[in-house]
Amino acid sequence: MNIFISLSSVCNQVQPQLVNFQGGQGLRMDPFFHRKDKVVVIMGGTGTGKSRLAIDLATRFFPAEVVNSDKMQVYKGLDITTNKVTEEECRGVPHHLLSIADSDSNFTATDFCHEANVAIDSIVERDRLPIIAGGSNSYIEALVNDDAEFRLRYECCFLWVDVSLPVLDSFVSERVDRMVKAGLVDEVRQLFDFSSDYTRGNRRAIGVPELDQFLRTEATADERTRKRLLEDAISRIKVNNCVLARRQLQKILRLYRIWEWNMHRLDATEVFKETGEEAEEAWGKLLARSRRIVGDFLHE
Ligand code: ATP
């Protein structure tokens, strides 16, 4: 498929003095001289379905690989707590930047830019479409706005998966209950120590600080106290996930308004409000629209 032909070798030959600087999306090359490679970026709050959309686009329409941009999922461990895609959910689509950093290291936005460029280069070299998916807008902003290497070589299409907040709140809260059933507390217990340092690595993930008091006292507290502390912790995890969704939305709106990114809003609310076949039908519509947007972008 020639739309996926790698242009990276051409990019490498571009002389810096031929680059034109423009506002809005940042750098643009002289169109006569150079065409940038294309990258799709899927943004959205926690729980909105970014990973599913990336995988569906990759398995059904465009040969693609996913680059994770969730700042807690880059760390090893806490697979349930940070809601990483399982191997089964990946359906054979390669995922990059998942579980690559030590859990107590400090993986910065600069590290993200470096690793994302390496991954994207390799994906483009294999004539596939890179799809960046994840909720950490500061990582995406650093890559798209501040990283000269990326801006010189790639052009982006942004898909923003949006879900009405009250609907998302219910989904995210129920998802926390499912995560607890799947072993969230055990997972965090394995990481727990009494130092209470929640400033590094994936100890900052929602779910870890919230369980501190419960894990600290579970060995000594009576059953009633343990139950109450666990319920309190789970409630706080739910609230903090809902707060995260709001903060992520605010950041997306800021990027959209200030930087005028080429952003396409996809309203996924119906997918979450409906159940069964109706939910699948709503998802099918959202997927079809995404396919059209990405198809147009690739053929521009
Ligand atoms: P900020 O600058 O506020 O860190 P950001 O855009 O860089 O924002 P977000 O993805 O919004 O990054 O993450 C903010 C915080 O939300 C993280 O520091 C972490 O506490 C929590 N968080 C983010 N992703 C997850 C996740 N997958 N699981 C658990 N907690 C998460």
Reported as a single tens digit per residue, the pLDDT across 138-156 is 999 999 999 999 999 999 9
Q: Do 224 and 281 sit in the same domain of this protein? A: no
Domain for residue 47, yes or no? Answer: yes
Domain for residue 21, yes or no? Answer: no
For ligand 1, atom 28: residue with the closest CA: 82
Residues 1, 253: Cα–Cα separation, whole Å: 35
Please provide residue 262's backbone torsions phi and psi, each rounded to the nearest 5 degrees.
Answer: -75, 75
- Whether 6 shows a pLDDT value over 90: the answer reads no
Q: Do 47 and 134 sit in the same domain of this protein? A: yes
For residue 110, what pLDDT is reported? Answer: 97
Q: Is the backbone of residue 276 left (phi > 0), alpha (psi -120 to 50) or beta?
A: left
Domain containing 209 — which CATH number? Answer: 1.10.287.890
Q: Do 265 and 139 sit in the same domain of this protein? A: yes
| Total number of domains in the chain | 2
For ligand 1, atom 20: residue with the closest CA: 205
Residue 136 CA: nearest ligand 1 atom is 10
* Sign of the alpha-carbon torsion through 75, 259, 160, 94: negative
At 44, which helix (H) or strand (E)?
Answer: strand 37-44
Residue 78 CA: nearest ligand 1 atom is 28
Pocket test for ligand 1, best of 79, 106, 136 (most atoms within 8 A of CB): 136
Count of residues in the chain: 300
Q: Do 136 and 272 sit in the same domain of this protein? A: yes
Q: Do 73 and 120 sit in the same domain of this protein? A: yes
**Crossing angle of helices 50-60 and 276-299, rounded to 10°:** 70
Domain for residue 249, yes or no? Answer: no
Domain boundary among 212, 241, 270: 241
Query: Distance from the CA of 62 to the center of ligand 1, in angstroms?
Result: 29
Q: Do 184 and 293 sit in the same domain of this protein? A: no
Is 248 near ligand 1, meaning CB less than 6 Å away? yes
* Sign of the alpha-carbon torsion through 249, 173, 280, 52: positive
Domain that holds residue 76: 37-164+260-299
Token representation of residue 37: 């490679």
- Whether 30 shows a pLDDT value over 70: the answer reads no
E strands in 113-223? 129-133, 154-162
Domain containing 290 — which CATH number? Answer: 3.40.50.300
* Residue 185 DSSP SS3: helix
Banded pLDDT at 33 (limits 50, 70, 90): low
Q: Do 153 and 269 sit in the same domain of this protein? A: yes
Is 135 near ligand 1, meaning CB less than 6 Å away? yes
Please say whether the beta carbons of 218 and 228 come within 8 A. Answer: no
Q: Do 236 and 125 sit in the same domain of this protein? A: no
Q: Do 77 and 208 sit in the same domain of this protein? A: no
pLDDT in tens, 230-243: 999 999 999 999 99
DSSP letter at 101?
B
Banded pLDDT at 16 (limits 50, 70, 90): very low
Q: Do 84 and 54 sit in the same domain of this protein? A: yes
Task: Quote ipTM for the complex.
Answer: 0.97
Is 72 near ligand 1, meaning CB less than 6 Å away? yes
Token representation of residue 300: 């521009």
Q: Do 270 and 236 sit in the same domain of this protein? A: no
Q: Do 51 and 176 sit in the same domain of this protein? A: no
What letters, b where the CB count within 10 A reaches 16 and e where it falls short, cover 96-108?
Answer: bbbbbbeeeeebe
pLDDT in tens, 63-107: 999 999 999 999 999 999 999 999 999 999 999 999 999 999 999
At 60, which helix (H) or strand (E)?
Answer: helix 50-60
Query: Distance from the CA of 206 to the center of ligand 1, in angstroms?
Result: 8
